[in-house]
Amino acid sequence: MSMQADSDATRASLLSRARQHDSRAWHELVDLYGPLIAHWCRRSGLDHHASADCVQQTFTAVLRSLNGYQARKLSGSFRSWLWTIASNKIRDHRRSSRREASGVGGSTALQALQQLPMEELSEEVLTDAEPVDAEQLSALVARAREQIREEFAPRTWEIFCRAVVDQIPTAMVAQEFSVTPAAVRQARSRILRRLRQQLGDIEP
């Protein structure tokens, strides 16, 4: 099976391009991780407007800090780094909201805040570990797949989808496409590596 139509071999990683202030790379990064950061914000109790502000502030911080990030070759390593930044921004919003409520409403507002359940106020609920949500992670990977799809020949992509997305055994996929099992494994390995690269977990 020919792989000559695939272009991923010479494509720089998303993070490498973002570090060079490539506008397309930044759009991809925001499209890829923006929904996940927004989910983290909403899960942490921020309203729609506060979440939107927090997402923007997170990416602003990412822009300033990206040169210092080093991929660890671990699944979710960039996501964990991103969570550290986002959780700090969420904490900032919580502190700001409490200060504003206390300043505007005086003792009455402060008393109302003190009557809320502690888990709604405590920063301790934002742990160092990223909150895992299988549905959100699945959606993240699906977005990453769509971003890299055009880099591969349609046949290569179809083989990958049958082997990885549909979880069809290698031998059956090889028979379906009239290729060798080694060709199936190669397609799977190359696209999975490119996918991890797009997610920020590995770089060239």
CATH class in words for 133-204: mainly alpha
Share of the chain above pLDDT 70, in %: 80
User: Has this prediction a pTM greater than 0.75?
Assistant: yes
pLDDT by residue for the chain (204 residues), tens only, comes to: 444 456 544 467 899 999 999 999 999 999 999 999 999 999 988 999 999 999 999 999 999 999 999 887 788 899 999 999 999 999 998 887 776 655 555 555 545 444 444 334 344 356 777 887 899 999 999 999 999 999 999 999 999 999 999 999 999 999 999 999 999 999 999 999 999 999 999 887
Q: How far is CA 48 from CA 53, 54, 84, 105, in A?
A: 9, 10, 21, 22
Long-range contacts, stretch 70-77, CB < 8 angstroms, 24+ apart: 71/15, 71/200, 71/201, 71/202, 71/203, 72/201, 73/201, 73/202, 74/201, 75/196, 75/201, 76/130, 76/201, 77/200, 77/201
Provide the CATH topology of domain 13-132: Rna Polymerase Sigma Factor; Chain: A (1.10.1740)
Q: Could you give the CA distance from residue 204 to residue 197 in angstroms, rounded to a whole number?
A: 8
Residue ranges matching CATH 1.10.1740.10 in the chain: 13-132
List, for residues 94-114, the tens digit of each pLDDT value: 887 776 655 555 555 545 444
Instruction: Specify the pLDDT at position 97.
Output: 73
Instruction: Specify the pLDDT at position 104.
Output: 56
Residue ranges matching CATH 1.10.10 in the chain: 133-204
